[in-house]
């Protein structure tokens, strides 16, 4: 069975399912805006302070909204036993991981698509640049893949979804630091060349974490 075709079929399935109800994406969006609000109040973000804090606020919000979506996505599979349906099919286990992860990535991307213009407007930071797109994608891919792997683990523990942020966030530190720093430079008017180092770190992080996740996913789902 074609690996890519499997991945694509699973992504399509997740997107189609979400399109029917939209409950997860709505929850993630509302949650993100709420987190934004909390940050704004808690840190009294106005003017220069807002501009300085914007990259951090952006990525913190993405991280939290992300764990929400990741947890939900796998809890849904578990409910009707659908994860068994996937495992019963003659497909590569790592294709299942990638398919689920890319679906999750798409949902997080929707949230980012809303957050970026929102932050730009509210905090007065020029975040709508093509270079920013690259940083956003690179910063989220690794997170989504390892997040899916860890969500698959978390959902099988007593604490279930609650376990996910505990497992995931320490592992996301490299991507978090790199993404925030790069975003900061770009928001200050820097060019893509100025963030080359951070981009390279993100690429290495993504490659390594995706590879390790794909190699170990089979062990997570096979009893």
Count of C-beta atoms within a 10 Å radius of residue 110 = 15
Angstrom distances, CA of residue 158 to CA of 15, 18, 73, 113, 164 = 28, 27, 18, 34, 12
Judged by CB under 8 A, which of 35, 65, 68, 86 binds other proteins?
86
State yes or no: residue 193 binds other proteins (CB under 8 A). Answer: no
* Cα torsion through 72, 73, 75, 76, rounded to 10: 110
Q: Nearest approach, Cβ of 184 to other proteins (angstroms)?
A: 10
**Residue 19 neighbours by CB under 8 Å, 6+ apart:** none
**Residue 141 and residue 179 in contact, taking contact as beta carbons nearer than 8 Å:** no
Site string for other proteins, 132-171 (x = CB under 8 A): --------------x--xx--x--xxxx---x--xx-xxx
Among 5-13, 38-46, 106-114, 120-128, the segment contacting other proteins (CB under 8 A): 5-13
- Residue 222: is it exposed, middle or buried by C-beta count within 10 angstroms (0-12/13-18/19+)? exposed
State yes or no: residue 26 binds other proteins (CB under 8 A). Answer: no
Among 32-40, 44-52, 80-88, 116-124, the segment contacting other proteins (CB under 8 A): 80-88
Site of tokens 């523990």: 157
State yes or no: residue 45 binds other proteins (CB under 8 A). Answer: no
**Residue 97 and residue 217 in contact, taking contact as beta carbons nearer than 8 Å:** yes
Q: Nearest approach, Cβ of 153 to other proteins (angstroms)?
A: 5
**Residue 182 and residue 199 in contact, taking contact as beta carbons nearer than 8 Å:** yes
* Cβ nearer to other proteins, comparing 48 with 223: 223
Among 7-15, 41-49, 62-70, 129-137, the segment contacting other proteins (CB under 8 A): 7-15
Tell me the C-alpha distance between 95 and 133, whole Å: 26
Judged by CB under 8 A, which of 18, 55, 102, 112 binds other proteins?
18
Binding site for other proteins (CB under 8 A): 1-2, 5-6, 9, 12-13, 16-18, 20-21, 76, 80-82, 84-91, 146, 149-150, 153, 156-159, 163, 166-167, 169-171, 173-174, 177-178, 181, 197-198, 201, 204-205, 208-209, 212-213, 216, 219-220, 222-223
């Amino acid at each position: 069975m074609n690996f890519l075709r499997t991945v694509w079929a699973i992504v399509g399935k997740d997107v189609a399912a979400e399109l029917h109800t939209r409950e997860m994406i709505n929850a993630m969006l509302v949650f993100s805006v709420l987190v934004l609000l909390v940050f704004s109040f808690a840190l009294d973000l106005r003017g220069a302070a807002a501009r300085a804090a914007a990259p951090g606020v952006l990525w913190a919000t993405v991280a939290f909204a992300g764990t929400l979506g990741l947890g939900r996505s796998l809890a849904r599979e578990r409910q009707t036993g659908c994860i068994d349906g996937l495992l019963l099919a003659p497909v590569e286990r790592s294709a299942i991981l990638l398919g689920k992860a890319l679906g999750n990535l798409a949902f997080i991307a929707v949230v980012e698509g809303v957050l970026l213009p929102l932050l730009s407007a509210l905090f007065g930071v020029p975040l709508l640049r093509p270079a920013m797109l690259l940083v956003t994608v690179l910063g989220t891919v690794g997170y989504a893949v390892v997040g899916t792997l860890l969500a698959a683990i978390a959902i099988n523990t007593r604490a279930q979804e609650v376990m996910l942020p505990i497992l995931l966030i320490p592992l996301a530190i490299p991507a978090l630091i790199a993404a925030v720093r790069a975003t900061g430079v770009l928001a200050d008017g820097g060019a893509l060349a100025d963030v080359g180092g951070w981009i390279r770190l993100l690429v290495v992080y993504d490659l390594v974490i995706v590879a390790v996740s794909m190699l170990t996913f089979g062990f997570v789902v096979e009893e």
